Amino acid sequence: MDTKIVFLDQATIRRDIEIRRPAFPHEWVSFDMSLAGQVGERCRDADIIITNKVPLNRGMIEGLPRLKMVAVAATGVDRIDTEACLERGIVVCNIRNYALTAVPEHVIALILILRRQIFQYRQEVLSGHWQAGDGFCLFDEPIYDVRGALLGIIGYGTLGQATASLAHKLGMQVQYYSPSPKDSDFSRPVELDVLLQTSDVVSCHCPLNRQTAGLIDGSAFDRMKPSAIFINTARGAIVDEQALVEALVGNKIAGAGIDVLAQEPPAVDSPLMQIADRTDVILTPHIAWASQQAMQLLANQLIDNIEAFMQGNPQNVV
């Protein structure tokens, strides 16, 4: 009997990205999207499940007697009950190091837009304010260089380090907070409180887990400088979104660039959607990772992980 592979949410990878088929006899079944309640029916006889955002909890896993591998089409595995998989001997593999260019570039783009007030000044042009003035330029809002600014990175894994490297090349100073400090020629580890109080830019790159859920709350924003900006390309639930809104509205921080939300897609009445039209806020739809090059690397590694597992040498095991 051929190995059955079920891809629960293939639409999370762009249609113009090539996903090659594994080089062993198999049955391939894919769905654009799947609801949690459809997992049992669709994967009842699956040997391998591919999922990006569809959750697999203990109850689902216990109802899938043939399941041997979960191939996560992403880095984060917070939607997978890895303990239940471990108890069943099910191997869980994720994708690693595929967005080491895409995510840092997105972070730097957000920093540049916010530090240089690009949205605000664009609005000044669209509103006619510049044209109605007497001077050749406007000085309504302060503009800050990126070079020389202090970037504080929360979480210093591969993406945090890649972001630090790119920021350093632009002349930024870098400090970071991590439970596991690492050697670096251009960044230094500090306590979280020090990072929040002293950074010109705070950028989240940590995984979502019990320790980091709600880590950036109202007290965190209270400790940041009024001129600081906040960036999150990690996971939405790391941040108390209502506290972030209050920090922005109350001018406790100068701006925010957010690529991830606690609920995706967000409800129209979610806290950040209520202020999405502010010029000091940039909301992007979880696309920091999604350059064409990065997505193709993800698709290639996804199949590499499955083939390695079938060869008895699983890689990227969580």
Query: Residue 16 is part of a domain; what is its CATH number?
Result: 3.40.50.720
Q: List the one residue out of 144, 163, 143, 141 whose CA is nearest residue 152.
A: 163
Question: Does residue 277 belong to any structural domain of this protein?
Answer: yes
Q: Give the residue-averaged pLDDT of 133-143.
A: 88
205 and 74 part of one domain = no
- Please check the confidence at residue 181 and state whether its pLDDT lies above 90: no
145 and 265 part of one domain = yes
Q: Give the residue-averaged pLDDT of 284-297.
A: 96
92 and 139 part of one domain = no
- Please check the confidence at residue 92 and state whether its pLDDT lies above 90: yes
Q: Give the residue-averaged pLDDT of 1-12.
A: 94
Question: Does residue 318 belong to any structural domain of this protein?
Answer: no
Question: Does residue 288 belong to any structural domain of this protein?
Answer: no
25 and 73 part of one domain = yes
How far from the centroid of its chain's Cα atoms is residue 75's Cα?
9
The separation between the first and the last C-alpha atoms of the chain, rounded to the nearest angstrom, is: 28
113 and 23 part of one domain = no
pLDDT at residue number 267: 94
Question: Does residue 91 belong to any structural domain of this protein?
Answer: yes
CA–CA distances in Å: residue 244 to residues 12, 37, 144, 209, 257: 28, 33, 22, 20, 11
> How many structural domains is the chain composed of?
2
272 and 299 part of one domain = no
Average pLDDT over all residues of the chain: 95
- What pLDDT band is residue 55 in, cutting at 50, 70 and 90? very high
pLDDT at residue number 304: 98
In terms of Cβ atoms closer than 10 Å to its own Cβ (0-12, 13-18, 19+), residue 14 is: exposed
Question: Does residue 315 belong to any structural domain of this protein?
Answer: no
110 and 89 part of one domain = no
Residue the block writes with tokens 């306590």: 191
pLDDT above 70 covers a percentage of the chain that reads 100
For 255, list phi and psi in degrees, rounded to 5: 175, 170
224 and 245 part of one domain = yes
Question: Does residue 68 belong to any structural domain of this protein?
Answer: yes
- Please check the confidence at residue 84 and state whether its pLDDT lies above 90: yes
286: left (phi over 0), alpha (psi -120 to 50) or beta: left
pLDDT at residue number 133: 84
State which residues form the domain around 90: 3-98+293-310
pLDDT tens-place string over residues 184-204: 889 999 999 999 999 999 999
pLDDT at residue number 204: 98
- What pLDDT band is residue 208 in, cutting at 50, 70 and 90? confident
Question: Does residue 316 belong to any structural domain of this protein?
Answer: no
170 and 74 part of one domain = no
73 and 187 part of one domain = no
Question: Does residue 76 belong to any structural domain of this protein?
Answer: yes
pLDDT at residue number 134: 85
Residues serving a catalytic function are 235, 264, 286
pTM: 0.89
22 and 66 part of one domain = yes
131 and 253 part of one domain = yes
Q: Is 278:255 a contact under the CB 8 Å cutoff? A: no
pLDDT at residue number 67: 97
- Please check the confidence at residue 1 and state whether its pLDDT lies above 80: no
